């Protein structure tokens, strides 16, 4: 009996049982001996100085071991360095407990360490702080005069500034018969994964630490901690085997990690620091922004001029950027373009990537503007997209490695029943509701990062694969196991994938929808090398039946190497390892993008979302009743986990369009809804019928696996599709997200 290939099968998450039964341990669940508990004291002003911080009351409390502030913290070389992390934007990284300066409300200003969490938390309330408050600004509207270009830095590689203007935008726009001049706005959104940010630092002896951390990147945080605290890389081990959601919030080392390590080294004890839900609102967010767009078309509906200018919040100390104003020209051809991106510094913490950062923000504005243009032209919105369909990437004039967007449009439109749409707004009643249909396009980068994989066949003839990558809930563990199993013709039960550990070979943080291409490809490369090594060993065995066999003449399957022409001639993996004196046979290899070859191509994923909303005629309450998203992302390794990625991000699209919003009180300079009672996310009642289609997209150029990544693309088209559906239902164009039902009331 031959083992069936696993790739393409809807394999359930291998760690699912551990997660639902509670045996999967998260960063705050490692109960190491003599554990101390840290609680963070947060600033209550947005900007100014700490004049005095009185810790005596807290220190006197029984059970309190230490209180660290900027006045008594240990000296660190790092406080004089500029070093940050792999995801740090240009600027000066925020250093907790560095000095008396306050840069944002909720900034950590002290750490109480006690023998139990409740004592630490109570002691924190006994700390008295005198501030000298300074003038501040937390509203993007009031700060637009400060808009400027972002500083350039390492992050610019992944987030390049928009392309230079082409043609003569002004002239073309003025001359065009059809045009739309619009402005879109977004409120900030905060990361609210179920798992709170937490770090358990185990003090293993002088200069040696084992750290259980909530992070998307074990090696990123290992390097960060080693550099900051002047430790040897090999003595810092960061583990994150299970991560309860992250979506970008764990791309950078967060301050609880720093504080936990600082306290552990200072006290030579094991220390855990857990943030509470309110403190999660100081860790980074999707930035508030204003986007101005001017699109013009000729009589046949072809775009002749496009302008997209983005004004996006950053902090006073770092220049966080996203890719926003570059997307329309990666999707639609236009001879005359003008794209701008300006940062607007505010006295809030630095924004951070949040699922499809920039893409979801931009495509809401772009695809709503396209909807407006469709109405101006009196053309069906889908038809307008098809009239502007780019066969090559208009922004680079390069061909795509593959692009099945047309198939996405067709399949999703058909499944949805788009042809039943009456284009007239407010023309489709259903009882006391108005029904609206909206559609939008999604586009996202297909990234691949270098990744290193160790692969070995053990004495038992099983496959072990090691890589430092995390699985933040995406299905990475399962998908990597499937890829590895198929390379050797083994069943997934015979494969162990070890991950989430900085001691394993290099992986970037899990981000940018790039893990299947990065670590997946590295597995393929390592497997190839290991198979060569195995065959060589097999051929060297005395009297080997494979002595004369070439690579092409053998197959690896069912725990054996056998002759393709005669499977009864074989050597088992166990026999090969036995002949190697019982020592596992292993290789370590690097997978990396074919940068040179791919320079001639544009690499992107695409999607199309079609949404039906119902809007209550009197109350104007909006319900997304059904949605279909079709995705073109190359080969799908696991249709079950991939579908979960898309439907999960479709729900986020509903959330972004209708629910999520951090409200800044401009007079206090703080978020006033930092809790899950007032920061709204969708519940089951908000999520109805969601359908996911994967368009058949063969990509032989992109990488060895033909995969592009599905972590973010499902979110990109949804907000615009929903906003367009709300317009179709009501005739009212709401240009700010999230859309509040009361904005629809007359
Ligand atoms: Mo994601 S925003 O690439 O973690």
Taking the C-alpha atoms of 650, 656, 660 and 661 in order, what is their torsion angle to the nearest 10 degrees?
170
Question: Residue 1 — very low, low, confident or very high, per pLDDT cuts 50/70/90?
Answer: low
Given this model, what pLDDT does residue 331 score?
98
Determine the Cα–Cα distance for residues 528 and 514; give it in Å rounded to an integer.
Answer: 21
Domain boundary, last residue among 535, 562, 592: 592
Determine the Cα–Cα distance for residues 356 and 44; give it in Å rounded to an integer.
Answer: 31
Candidate from 511, 516, 714 with most ligand 1 atoms within 8 A of CB, to mutate: 511
Both 227 and 376 in a single domain? no
Q: Are 223 and 508 in contact (CB under 8 A)?
A: no
Both 295 and 324 in a single domain? yes
Both 344 and 407 in a single domain? yes
Given this model, what pLDDT does residue 174 score?
98
Work out the angle at residue 11's Cα, subtended by the Cα atoms of residues 604 and 478, and round it to the nearest 5 degrees. 65
Q: What is the pLDDT of residues 584-627, one digit of tens each?
A: 999 999 999 998 899 999 999 999 999 999 999 999 999 999 99
Ligand 1 atom nearest 511 alpha carbon: 3
Both 540 and 511 in a single domain? yes
Domain presence at residue 9: no
Domain presence at residue 438: yes
Candidate from 353, 517, 709 with most ligand 1 atoms within 8 A of CB, to mutate: 353
Domain boundary, last residue among 280, 297, 329: 280
Q: Are 497 and 477 in contact (CB under 8 A)?
A: yes
Q: What is the pLDDT of residues 518-540, one digit of tens each?
A: 999 999 999 999 999 999 999 99
Given this model, what pLDDT does residue 85 score?
87
Given this model, what pLDDT does residue 332 score?
98
Q: Are 656 and 737 in contact (CB under 8 A)?
A: yes
Both 291 and 415 in a single domain? yes
Which residues, at least 6 apart from 636, have a Cβ–Cβ distance to it below 8 Å?
8, 642, 694, 707, 710
Q: What is the pLDDT of residues 334-392, one digit of tens each?
A: 999 999 999 999 999 999 999 999 999 999 999 999 999 999 999 999 999 999 999 99
Question: Residue 29 — very low, low, confident or very high, per pLDDT cuts 50/70/90?
Answer: very high
Domain presence at residue 165: yes
Determine the Cα–Cα distance for residues 434 and 426; give it in Å rounded to an integer.
Answer: 6
Q: Are 33 and 115 in contact (CB under 8 A)?
A: no
Number of folded domains in the chain? 3
* CA of residue 163 to ligand 1 center, whole Å: 23
What average pLDDT does range 237-254 have in this prediction? 97
Domain presence at residue 498: yes
* CA of residue 416 to ligand 1 center, whole Å: 29
Question: Residue 54 — very low, low, confident or very high, per pLDDT cuts 50/70/90?
Answer: very high
Tell me: pLDDT of 81 over 70: no
Domain presence at residue 6: no
Given this model, what pLDDT does residue 516 score?
97
Domain ranges, residue 521: 16-22+449-592
Domain presence at residue 4: no
Both 215 and 125 in a single domain? yes
Ligand 1 atom nearest 472 alpha carbon: 4
Candidate from 158, 605, 712, 714 with most ligand 1 atoms within 8 A of CB, to mutate: 712
Both 225 and 157 in a single domain? no
Considering only CA atoms, give the Rg of the chain.
27
Supply 587's token pair.
């290789």
Other Cβ atoms closer than 10 A to 505: 21
Both 57 and 204 in a single domain? yes
Both 481 and 426 in a single domain? no
Given this model, what pLDDT does residue 570 score?
97
Q: Are 362 and 291 in contact (CB under 8 A)?
A: yes
Q: What is the pLDDT of residues 384-426, one digit of tens each?
A: 999 999 999 999 999 999 999 999 999 999 999 999 999 999 9
Tell me: pLDDT of 43 over 90: yes
Both 431 and 296 in a single domain? yes
Query: What 3-state DSSP class applies to 243?
Result: coil
* CA of residue 356 to ligand 1 center, whole Å: 7
Tell me: pLDDT of 739 over 90: yes
Both 516 and 664 in a single domain? no
* CA of residue 369 to ligand 1 center, whole Å: 26
Both 77 and 105 in a single domain? yes
As for ligand 1, residues whose beta carbon falls within 6 Å of it are 216, 247-248, 251, 353-355, 357, 511-512
CATH number of residue 631's parent domain: 3.30.365.10
**436 strand-pairing partners:** 613
Domain boundary, last residue among 570, 592, 614: 592
Report long-range pairs for 671-674 (Cβ below 8 Å, ≥24 apart).
671/105, 671/106, 671/188, 671/190, 671/281, 674/106, 674/190, 674/277, 674/278, 674/280, 674/281
Closest CA to 483 of 703, 705, 634: 705
């Amino acid at each position: 009996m031959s083992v069936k290939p696993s790739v393409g099968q809807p394999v359930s998450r291998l760690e699912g049982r551990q997660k639902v039964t509670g045996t999967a341990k998260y960063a705050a669940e490692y109960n190491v001996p003599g554990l101390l508990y840290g609680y963070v004291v947060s600033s209550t002003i947005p900007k100014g100085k700490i004049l005095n911080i009185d810790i005596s009351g807290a220190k006197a409390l029984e059970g309190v071991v230490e209180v660290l502030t900027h006045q008594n913290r240990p000296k660190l070389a790092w406080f004089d360095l500029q070093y940050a992390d792999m995801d740090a934007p240009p600027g000066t990284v925020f250093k907790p407990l560095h000095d008396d300066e306050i840069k944002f409300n909720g900034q950590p200003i002290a750490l109480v360490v006690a023998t139990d969490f409740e004592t630490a938390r109570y002691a924190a309330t006994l700390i008295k702080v005198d501030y000298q408050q300074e003038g501040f600004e937390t509203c993007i509207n009031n700060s637009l005069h400060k808009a400027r270009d972002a500083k350039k830095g390492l992050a610019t590689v992944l987030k390049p500034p928009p392309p230079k203007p082409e043609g003569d935008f002004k002239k073309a726009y003025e001359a065009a018969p059809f045009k739309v001049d619009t402005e879109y706005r977004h409120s900030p959104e905060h990361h609210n994964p179920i798992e709170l940010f937490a770090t358990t630092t185990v003090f293993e002896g002088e200069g040696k630490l084992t750290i259980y951390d909530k992070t998307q990147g074990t090696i990123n945080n290992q390097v960060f901690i080693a550099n900051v605290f002047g430790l040897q890389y090999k003595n810092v081990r960061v583990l994150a085997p299970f991560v309860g959601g992250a979506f970008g919030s764990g791309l950078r080392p967060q301050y609880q990690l720093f504080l936990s390590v600082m306290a552990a080294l200072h006290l030579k004890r094991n220390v855990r620091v857990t943030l509470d839900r309110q403190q999660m609102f100081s860790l980074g967010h999707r930035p508030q922004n204003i986007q101005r767009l001017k699109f013009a078309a000729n009589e046949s509906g072809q775009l002749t001029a496009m302008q997209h200018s983005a004004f996006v919040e950053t902090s006073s100390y770092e220049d966080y950027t996203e890719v926003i104003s570059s997307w329309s020209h990666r999707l639609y051809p236009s001879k005359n373009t003008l794209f701008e991106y300006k940062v607007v510094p505010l006295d809030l913490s630095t924004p951070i990537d949040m699922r499809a950062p920039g893409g979801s923000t931009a495509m809401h504005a772009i695809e709503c503007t396209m909807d407006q243009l469709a109405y101006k032209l009196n053309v069906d919105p889908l038809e307008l997209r098809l009239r502007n369909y780019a066969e090559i990437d208009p922004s680079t004039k390069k061909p795509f490695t593959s692009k099945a967007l047309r198939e996405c449009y067709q399949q999703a439109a058909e499944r949805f029943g788009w042809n039943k749409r009456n284009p007239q707004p407010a023309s489709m009643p259903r009882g006391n509701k108005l029904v609206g249909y909206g559609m939008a396009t999604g586009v996202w980068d297909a990234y691949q990062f270098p990744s290193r994989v160790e692969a070995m066949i053990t004495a038992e003839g099983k496959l072990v694969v090691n890589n430092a990558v995390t699985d933040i809930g995406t299905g990475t563990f399962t998908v990597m196991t499937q890829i590895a199993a198929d390379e050797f013709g083994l069943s997934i039960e015979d494969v162990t994938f070890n991950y989430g550990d900085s001691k394993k070979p290099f992986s970037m943080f899990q981000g940018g929808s790039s893990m299947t291409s990065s670590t997946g490809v590295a597995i393929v490369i390592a497997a190839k090398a290991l198979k060569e090594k195995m065959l060589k060993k097999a051929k060297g065995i005395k009297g080997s039946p494979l002595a004369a066999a070439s690579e092409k003449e053998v197959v690896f399957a069912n725990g054996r190497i056998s002759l393709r022409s005669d499977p009864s001639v074989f050597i088992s993996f166990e026999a090969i390892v036995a002949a190697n004196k019982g020592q596992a046979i292993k290789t370590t290899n690097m997978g990396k993008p074919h940068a040179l070859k791919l320079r001639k191509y544009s690499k992107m994923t695409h999607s199309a979302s079609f949404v039906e909303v119902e809007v209550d005629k009197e109350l104007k309450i909006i319900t997304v009743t059904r949605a279909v998203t079709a995705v073109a992302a190359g080969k799908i390794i696991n249709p079950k986990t991939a579908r979960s990625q898309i439907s999960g991000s479709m729900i986020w699209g509903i959330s972004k369009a209708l629910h999520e919003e951090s409200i800044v009180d401009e007079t206090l300079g703080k978020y006033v809804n930092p809790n899950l009672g007032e920061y709204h996310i969708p519940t089951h009642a908000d999520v109805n019928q969601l359908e996911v289609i994967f368009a058949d997209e063969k990509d032989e150029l992109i990488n060895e696996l033909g995969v592009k990544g599905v972590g973010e693309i499902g979110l990109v088209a949804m907000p615009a599709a929903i906003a367009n559906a709300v317009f179709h239902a009501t005739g009212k164009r709401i240009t700010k997200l999230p859309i509040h039902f009361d904005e629809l009331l007359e």
